[in-house]
């Protein structure tokens, strides 16, 4: 059971990103090229979602709270706890 919960927790940001891409226009016009969102999806999905939230909710303005949120998202993505 704990392994199943770990797999679900690891997949959730990617599932949310795919659902947003398929069913909304959330990512439209945010990236100039397809490579960055694909790399974000593979390596740092939580940071990709936070970047898109800053774009939509804060108008793309990066202040101290937005940067702190990005740091937390990257730490979640690269945490060694996810690799167990």
- pLDDT per residue as tens digits for the range 33-77: 889 889 999 999 999 999 999 999 999 999 999 999 999 999 988
Q: Is 50 exposed, middle or buried (0-12, 13-18, 19+ CB in 10 A)?
A: buried
CA dihedral 4, 10, 16, 17 (to 10 degrees): -140
Give the global pTM. Answer: 0.81
Total domains present in the chain: 1
Domain span at 39: 2-83
pLDDT at 28 over 70: yes
pLDDT at 84 over 60: no
* Average pLDDT, integer, range 25-37: 87
């Amino acid at each position: 059971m704990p392994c199943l919960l770990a797999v679900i927790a690891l997949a959730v940001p990617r599932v949310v990103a795919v659902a947003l891409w398929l069913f909304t226009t959330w990512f439209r016009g945010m990236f100039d090229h397809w490579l960055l969102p694909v790399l974000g999806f593979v390596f740092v999905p939580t940071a990709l979602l936070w970047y898109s939230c800053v774009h939509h909710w804060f108008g793309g303005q990066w202040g101290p709270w937005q940067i702190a949120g990005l740091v937390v998202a990257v730490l979640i993505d690269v945490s060694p706890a996810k690799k167990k």
